[in-house]
Amino acid sequence: MTAFSLEPAQLAWCAELRALAAERLRPLAEKGEPGRVNRPLVAELGRLGLIGRLFAAGALDLCLMRECLAQACTEAETALALQGLGAHPVHAHGTGAQRARWLPAVTDGTAVAAFALSEPGAGSDAAALALTAHPDGPARWRLSGEKCWISNAPEADFYTVFARTTAGAGARGVTAFLLPADRPGLTGHGLDMLSPHPIGALDLDGVPVTADDVLGEVDRGFRVAMGTLNLFRPSVGAFAVGMAQAALDATLDHTARRDAFGGKLRDLQAVSHQVAEMALRTEAARLMVYAAATAYDEGAPDVPGRSAMAKLLATETAQYVVDTAVQLHGARALRRGHLLEHLYREVRAPRVYEGASEIQRGIIAKELYATQEAR
């Protein structure tokens, strides 16, 4: 099914992406170790020009990339997205020296980036983060505290780290720093998570940073974080739509071939109606994702609300579609190595990261009331 908003050239590019993911990226992904950064896969994404396109394209292109890669290789999709998430603050807010030092290496896949916002006590409530930047002379600080649930940690080559520079100021007292992984006092360890992509924790014990490491302005780092998340939230929805489409495609194939009760599974109304519902919800989520991305590209004023809606609907939809696909496949879908077993582990995390579903509902309500009050 084709969304109304895509041009023929975009559809052709999507088909090319799916083919690349299946033929060149999936074999590299299959050789990777779960929970570890797959550097050959990241390097191949660089060689294909996909990482560079992250910084040159708009939100809709980002969504198309994530959706199409997710249909054929979720590991490639995630590796691409994490490069973008970790390096976008450098691209958008970095100095000339910061950009020259890191963006070429990120783009060609030789440097791995990470976005370090969440903490043990500040996940969804990002403005409550406690990692502290203690003054250490003019325009110098020492970072002390913890970061947790950080994708690509502790193996990234640099981190976009958010730290508190002004106590008691909430979101107004946070600064974004570009932190190379080799800074003294920075250590970390991996976390064994349900999702197979690399996630870890960081410990910062007096890590030195200076004004040269600041991304944007001092005490304005929350804007850096939210600007990045507003761009990437619709594309998290696109990742979810790609997984939902993969699960739907697998279900269509399985129910058309599987013999049951004297016919095919698809001949049972109870089955065919579930498949129809899976398709309906997937297409609705896809259209909302595309609409949110287009609003971002056009500079519309309602981007935060649209982004939240897109992420919420798409991630909740993907959970439903993958779960229904498992049910219709039966026990075979629960075997280690089955596509749906893989998707079942992958699909749960997007409802939590980059703002949990509950946070998205809060954003939507806040934007609705703000619009009403402005009338």
Q: What is the DSSP string of 62-113?
A: HHHHHHHHHHH-HHHHHHHHHHHHHHHHHHHH--HHHHHHHHHHHHTTSS-E
Q: What separation in angstroms does the CA of 43 have from each of 17, 26, 46, 50, 220?
A: 16, 13, 5, 10, 33
Q: What separation in angstroms does the CA of 256 have from each of 260, 268, 281, 324, 341?
A: 11, 11, 20, 16, 20
Place of tokens 């998290």: 236
- Give Cβ neighbours of residue 190 (< 8 Å, ≥ 6 apart): 35, 36, 153, 154, 155, 198, 199, 200
Q: Are 243 and 74 in contact (CB under 8 A)?
A: yes
Q: Pick the catalytic residue: 67, 316, 354, 367?
A: 354
Cα Rg of the chain, angstroms: 21
Place of tokens 């730290």: 163
Q: Look up 146 and say whether it is catalytic.
A: no
Residue 170: count of CB within 10 angstroms of its CB: 12
| Cα–Cα dist 39/29, whole Å | 10
| Cα–Cα dist 322/346, whole Å | 10
Q: What are the backbone angles phi and psi of residue 310, rounded to the nearest 5°?
A: -65, -45
Q: Which of 126, 291, 127, 315 minimizes the C-alpha distance to 239? A: 315
Q: Coil, helix or strand for 25?
A: helix
Supply the residues annotated as catalytic: 354
